Chains A and B, each alone.
Chain A
Amino acid sequence: MTMATTIDKAGPRRKLRSMSRDRTWALRWSYVFLTIFAIFFLFPPIYTLITSLKTSGEISAAVNPWWVYHPTLSNYRELLGSSQFLRFFLNSAMVSACVVVITMLISIPAAFALARMKFWGSATLATGVFLTYLIPDSLLFIPLFKMFAVFHDYTGIQLLNHWYVLVIVYPTLTVPFATWIMIGYFASIPKELDEAAIVDGATWMQTLLRIFVPVAFPGIIAATIFAFTVSWSQFLYPLAFTTTASELVLPVGIITTLIKGDVFNWGQIMTGALLSAAPPLIIYAFLMDYYISGLTAGATKG
C-alpha cells in the first residue's frame, strides 16, 4: 500500500520566519498606527483646551498656537460668571432632563409591549419605529415650525421661542432609538421569567416594573445616556425655534452670542465649547461601557 513518491516541490523555498517575531512586529505597527489615529481623533479637543487657557492677546500674537505660554483661567471665570452663559447651561440642563424623563416614560412601556406582548399591528409598528428614525430633523423642522405658528394662531399659546418647545420636539429624536435599544434588551430576557411572574400573580404592568426594568437595567442606563447626549447636542431645532437669548440652549447660545459680527473672541468661544462638551464627556468617562453597549445593542440586535 505504501509507495515511495517524490513530490516535486517546485515552489521557491521560503525562508522560515519566526512566528513570534512576526507577531511582535505586527503589534508594534498596530501601536504606531493606533497612536497616529489617536492623535488624529484627540487633537481638536486638546486644541480647544489649549486655546481656552489663552488670553486674547496671546491668541492674536504670532506665536506657536499649539502651546500655551501664559495660561490663564480668565476665560473660564468670565463665562462661568456670565449670567447669560449660565442661563444657557441651565436651559440645556432643564431641556435634557425633561426629555430624558419623557423618553423613558414613552419608550419603556412601548418596548415592553412590542417585545413581549404581540398585539395587532405590533410587527408593523416595530418596523415603523425604526423607519421614523430615518426621517431626519432636517426634513421636519420646517413643517414643525409652521405647525407651531398655526397652533399659536388657533390657541394663542406661543410655543416658539421658548425652551420648552424643545421638550416637545426632542423626543422624536430620542424615543425611536431608545425604544429600539430597550426592545433588544427586553427580548433577551428569557420568556419563562414572564410566565413565572404571571403564575405568581403579576399584572403586565407589575411584570414590567418589578421584573423587566430591574433585570434590563444596563439597557435603561444605555438608553438614558443616549437620550441625554442627543438632547444636549441638538443644534438644528433650537436654532430654528428659539431666538431670544434667555431661551437658548448651549450649542446655539455659544454660537450666536459669542460670535458678534466680525469679532470672534476665540478664547471664550473655545472655553464655552469645552464647558458645553463637559457633561457628555464626564458621563462618558464614567459610564463608557453603557455608552458603547447602547450603540451596539441598537444596531447588532437588528
Chain B
Amino acid sequence: MADVAITTTPHSAKAKPRAKPVSGFRRFLQKKSTIAFFMALPLILLIAILVVYPAIYSIHLATLNKSMQRYVGFGNFKFLFTRETFWMVVRQSCLFAITAVVFKALIGFITAHLVHNVPANKQRKWRGMLLVPWVIPPAMTTLAWLWLFDPSYSAFNWILAHFGVGPIPWTGDAGWARFSVILVNIWYGAPFFLILYLASLKSVPEQLYEAAAIDGCNWWQRIWFITLPMMRNIISITVLFSLIVTFANFDIVRILTSGGPLDSTHLFATWAFKLGIESSDIPLGASVSLFMFPILAIAAIFILRDINQRGNEAS
C-alpha cells in the first residue's frame, strides 16, 4: 500500500451535526412506519375504493329492484333460483371451469416435460413458440377461432370434409358450442401452466432422478413418486388460481357464442353482462355476479392455506 499522509481537510460541506431535538410531529413523519404507510397508501386507496367498495356495493345493488328505487331484499335471488337459465349457467360455469382447468394442467404438465427433455440450448426456442397463445390478447384469438368455427366457411370443416365427416356446427349446436368454448380456453391457458411447470421441473434436484434410476424406476414411476410430489405445491396453486380465473371468464364466451345457442354456453360473467348492461337490469346482473363469490372465496382459502404451508415447509 502506498505511503500517503492523510490530509484532514476541513469538513467544508459538513457542519458538525448536532443532534437537534426535533418536534414530535416531525419525528412522527420521519418514523419508518409512517413513511412506509404513506408509500403503501396509494395501493390501499386503490384497493379500497375500486375493489373493496364496489364489491360491497354490488351486494347492496343486488337487493334493489330493477329501477333501483325499492329495496327488495332477496327478491332478485329468489327470482334467479326459479329461472332455468340460472341453473344452466351454474352447471355450465362449473363444467367449463373444471374441464378446462384439468386439461390445461395436463397439457401444461406434458409439454413442460417435453420441453425439459430437449437439450437446454434448444429449449428456449420451443418454449418461445409454445407460449404464443398466452401473449396474444384473448379477444383477438377468440376472433380467429370464431372464424375457424364459422358455420359456412369453417377451415376445420373443410379439412373434415375430405375425410367424409359432415360439417360440424361448432357454435350452432349446444353440445359442440360448449366443447368449442372449452377448447379455446384450453388453447389460451395451457401455456401459462407450461411455463410454471417448466420452471418447477427445473428446480427438482437432478440427484433424485439419478438415485431413482439406480433404484430401477421406469418413467411413470419417476413421475408418480418423484416429480409429482416435488411439484405438488405449484400444481395446487396453479390449479386453484386457474379455477378462479377460468370461472370468471368473459372474453371467450362473449365473442365466440355470446352465451348461445339458447344460453347454453353462458357463464356467470357473460350472463351478468347481458342482464346488467344490455338489458339494463343492474340489480339482477349484480345478483348473478355475486354468485361467483362463494366459490371464489373457497378457492382463495385453499390457496392461502397452501401458500402458508409452503412457506412453513420452506423455512
A64 to B52, CA, bound (A): 52
A4 to B145, CA, bound (A): 72
Determine whether the beta carbon of A109 is less than 8 Å from that of B42.
Answer: yes
A145 to B57, CA, bound (A): 11
Determine whether the beta carbon of A136 is less than 8 Å from that of B269.
Answer: yes
Given A110-B39, A117-B32, A240-B277: A299 and B196 within 8 A (CB)?
yes
Given A125-B40, A204-B32: A296 and B143 within 8 A (CB)?
no
Total A-B pairs in contact (CB under 8 Å)? Answer: 281
Interface size for A (C-beta < 8 A) is 95
Given A34-B115, A117-B35, A122-B36: A138 and B136 within 8 A (CB)?
no
* Distance from B302 Cβ to chain A, minimum over Cβ atoms (Å): 11
Q: Confirm or deny: A169 has a beta carbon within 8 angstroms of a beta carbon on chain B.
A: yes
Determine whether the beta carbon of A295 is less than 8 Å from that of B192.
Answer: yes
Determine whether the beta carbon of A65 is less than 8 Å from that of B158.
Answer: yes
Q: Which of B11-58 contact A (CB under 8 A)?
A: 32-33, 35-37, 39-40, 42-44, 46-47, 50-55, 57-58
Chain A minimum-CB-distance residue to B275: A142
A137 to B51, CA, bound (A): 9
Q: Which of A101-150 contact B (CB under 8 A)?
A: 105-107, 109-110, 112-114, 117-120, 122, 125, 127-132, 134-147
Determine whether the beta carbon of A142 is less than 8 Å from that of B276.
Answer: yes
Determine whether the beta carbon of B300 is less than 8 Å from that of A134.
Answer: yes
Binds A, one of B2-10, B81-89, B291-299: B291-299
Contact of B282 among A106, A146, A250, A254 (CB under 8 A): A146
Q: Confirm or deny: A154 has a beta carbon within 8 angstroms of a beta carbon on chain B.
A: no
Q: Which of B114-131 contact A (CB under 8 A)?
A: 114-115, 117-118, 124, 126-131
Determine whether the beta carbon of A134 is less than 8 Å from that of B299.
Answer: yes
A274 to B139, CA, bound (A): 11
B290: chain A residues at CB < 8 Å are: 139
Most chain B Cβ neighbours within 10 Å, of A128, A143, A179, A266: A143
Interface size for B (C-beta < 8 A) is 95
Determine whether the beta carbon of B37 is less than 8 Å from that of A45.
Answer: no
Q: Which of A244-302 contact B (CB under 8 A)?
A: 250-252, 254-255, 264, 266, 269-270, 273-274, 276-277, 280-281, 284, 288, 291-292, 295-296, 299-300, 302
A172 to B43, CA, bound (A): 9
A128 to B33, CA, bound (A): 18
Q: Confirm or deny: B94 has a beta carbon within 8 angstroms of a beta carbon on chain A.
A: no
A44: chain B residues at CB < 8 Å are: 133, 141, 144-145, 148, 187
Most chain B Cβ neighbours within 10 Å, of A110, A127, A130: A110
Chain A minimum-CB-distance residue to B64: A146
Q: Confirm or deny: B170 has a beta carbon within 8 angstroms of a beta carbon on chain A.
A: no
Q: Confirm or deny: B237 has a beta carbon within 8 angstroms of a beta carbon on chain A.
A: yes
A32 to B25, CA, bound (A): 70
* Distance from A8 Cβ to chain B, minimum over Cβ atoms (Å): 18
* Distance from B127 Cβ to chain A, minimum over Cβ atoms (Å): 8
Q: Confirm or deny: B138 has a beta carbon within 8 angstroms of a beta carbon on chain A.
A: yes
B133: chain A residues at CB < 8 Å are: 41, 44-45
Determine whether the beta carbon of A175 is less than 8 Å from that of B135.
Answer: no
* Distance from B106 Cβ to chain A, minimum over Cβ atoms (Å): 12
B-contacting residues of A (Cβ < 8 Å)?
Answer: 26-27, 30-31, 33-34, 37-38, 40-42, 44-45, 47-48, 51, 59-60, 64-66, 105-107, 109-110, 112-114, 117-120, 122, 125, 127-132, 134-147, 168-169, 171-172, 175-176, 179, 204-205, 229, 232-233, 235-236, 239-240, 250-252, 254-255, 264, 266, 269-270, 273-274, 276-277, 280-281, 284, 288, 291-292, 295-296, 299-300, 302
Closest 7 CB pairs of A and B: A138-B269, A233-B137, A136-B248, A117-B36, A109-B39, A110-B43, A143-B54
Known: A48-B140, A119-B37. 19 other contacts (CB 8 A): A26-B117, A37-B111, A44-B144, A45-B132, A65-B153, A65-B158, A117-B39, A136-B248, A139-B248, A139-B292, A142-B277, A142-B286, A143-B55, A179-B43, A204-B32, A233-B138, A281-B135, A284-B132, A302-B311
